[in-house]
Amino acid sequence: MSIKKKAVTCLVTAIIAIVGVKYAGEVRTSAQGLALIGDAEGCRRDPYLCPANVLTAGIGSTSGINISHLYSDAEIAAMWVEDLQRAERCINKNFHGDEMNQNQFDAMASAAFNMGCLGLMWFTDSRGVRQRTTIWKHAQARSWAAMCNRLPDFVNGGGRKLPGLVKRREAERVMCLEPVT
């Protein structure tokens, strides 16, 4: 007989507010981008295994998670900012993020946050050879619309297609293609 543990959730909006106040100017991702990431990831104080079987807490944080710790809003915000900065560095360094408009940057930062930088840049083909992703190639060519339209290519987690990733990638694609006014 197993006893299921109830998830201890937190509010994404509260974490976004903390990031906006305490970490103002430390991340480029806009409030709209933060909401996209937060809504896709959800927020949990208690560590859990994500669909890819990775220990996770807060808003999708996977680094240094203590399985027996219940995380506070302040801890979750701090972990999230570190993760966001890592994703943003990836997009700036490898995808010409400094040349993207805000919506393109937010969508790509969301993808890098979720998949990791290497997962967005490389794949292994059917012969076992590492190849650059098409999304990376489009970014190198500054073909932003083509880059955005490749986001739905990345919908697998733990070796299978996940409905949550299908929904997230479509939201990222739509945001990425939306002109900034």
Annotated catalytic residues are 41, 50
With the CA atoms of 27, 176, 12 and 116 taken in that order, what torsion angle do they form, in degrees rounded to the nearest 10? Answer: -70
Question: How far apart (Å, rounded) are the C-alpha atoms in residues 143 and 125?
Answer: 23
Q: Do the beta carbons of residue 76 and residue 16 sit within 8 Å?
A: no
Secondary element (H or E) of residue 44? strand 44-49
Secondary element (H or E) of residue 106? helix 102-115
With the CA atoms of 177, 159, 50 and 12 taken in that order, what torsion angle do they form, in degrees rounded to the nearest 10? Answer: 10
Neighbours of 119 (CB within 10 A): 13
